[in-house]
């Protein structure tokens, strides 16, 4: 199964770009990151990106296989 474009773009970020990504996404969603929580949000996003990259590598996603919708 392939990754979707949003996940692929997120995985392509490095830790130095996560802050700009978080700010842009918050603005696009009409959210404000409170200054007292921003550092924690950025740390969590960087961790999430690394965890997602590990998962994608372990699953061995293949871009030639179409995406499957999530069904609980």
Alpha-carbon gap, residue 40 to 43, rounded angstroms? 5
Alpha-carbon gap, residue 29 to 38, rounded angstroms? 16
Confidence band (pLDDT; 50, 70, 90) for 13? confident
Alpha-carbon gap, residue 72 to 65, rounded angstroms? 20
Spatial contact of 33 and 52, defined as CB atoms under 8 Å apart: no
Alpha-carbon gap, residue 70 to 32, rounded angstroms? 29
Task: Tell which residue, 72, 23, 70, has the closest CA to residue 45.
Answer: 23
Break the chain into its structural domains and give their ranges.
5-59
User: What confidence tens digit (pLDDT) does each residue in 22-60 have?
Assistant: 999 899 999 988 999 999 999 999 999 999 888 888 777
Q: Is the full-model pTM beyond 0.75?
A: no
Tokens of 52: 């997602």
């Amino acid at each position: 199964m392939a990754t979707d474009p949003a996940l692929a773009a997120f995985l392509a970020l490095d830790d130095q770009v996560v802050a700009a990504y978080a700010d842009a996404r918050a603005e696009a969603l009409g959210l404000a990151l409170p200054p007292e929580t921003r550092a924690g949000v950025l740390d969590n996003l960087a961790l999430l990106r690394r965890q997602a990259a590990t998962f994608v590598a372990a699953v061995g996603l293949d871009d030639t296989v179409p995406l499957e919708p999530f069904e609980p």
